[in-house]
Homo-oligomer: A and B are copies of this chain.
Amino acid sequence: MTRAKPKTRIQQKNSEAILDAALEVFSQAGFRGATLDQIADRAGLSKPNLLYYFSSKEAIHAELIAGLLKVWLDPLRALDSGGDPVAEILGYVRRKLELSRDFPRESRLFANEVLQGAPRIDGALQGELKPLVDDKAAVIAAWVAEGRLAPVDPYHLIFSIWATTQHYADFDVQVRAVLGPGHDPFAEAGDFLETLYRRMLAI
């Protein structure tokens, strides 16, 4: 298990350094590809010292994943059934894209995990993600039924938003290789996606 809440200043500081380093390494190499030595290095600690703060490699990973899910789902939670349908969905797209821009490591960590069959987060997908998506899909379906949105499958709409926004974090090197220098992928993506979903959803 992970140790209890950090109490001392040193624990606070080192735990944070470890988690940050681990995020960097895990997101770039995947769970098996990451090594404790790399993480310890990046955190500026010796390996045994690192294991003084976290009992195992799995424990570090688990803590990262746990912290991740909350942040990751917040933008969808914020989708408000009382708001204007198109504006709400465009707002969701914008927030999700900002997340990709500001937290690409978290996005890649998640992608790595799901790509490999989600062995460590399968429970969370069923237990947290699905109910939330069901809830918001119902909201969107209601908007469609009321004629306030163009007809659309709400689940696949949400999938497409995930796909298009996370793409800019997860496939960053590819995007930049194709665009070449002198581009701001996220800024351009913001415009493009707003157009895409506006045309898709407008009545």
Q: In the complex, which residues of chain B have a beta carbon less than 8 angstroms from the beta carbon of A152? A: 192, 195
- A contact set with B: CB distance below 8 Å: 28-33, 108, 111-112, 114-118, 122, 125-126, 129-130, 133, 150, 152-153, 155-157, 159-160, 162-164, 166-168, 170-171, 173-175, 177-180, 188-189, 191-193, 195-196, 199-200
- Please, how many angstroms separate the alpha-carbon atoms of A170 and B111 in the complex? 8
Q: In the complex, which residues of chain B have a beta carbon less than 8 angstroms from the beta carbon of A162? A: 167, 171
Given contacts A171-B114, A180-B130, contact A156 B200 (CB under 8 A): no
Q: In the complex, which residues of chain B have a beta carbon less than 8 angstroms from the beta carbon of A168? A: 159
Whether A160 and B153, one on each chain, are in contact in the complex, defined by CB atoms closer than 8 angstroms, is no
Given contacts A30-B30, A33-B116, contact A155 B178 (CB under 8 A): yes
- Please, how many angstroms separate the alpha-carbon atoms of A193 and B118 in the complex? 25
Can you name 19 A-B pairs with beta carbons within 8 Å? A30-B30, A30-B32, A30-B33, A30-B112, A31-B33, A33-B116, A108-B115, A114-B170, A114-B174, A118-B173, A118-B174, A122-B177, A130-B178, A153-B188, A156-B192, A159-B164, A160-B164, A162-B167, A200-B200
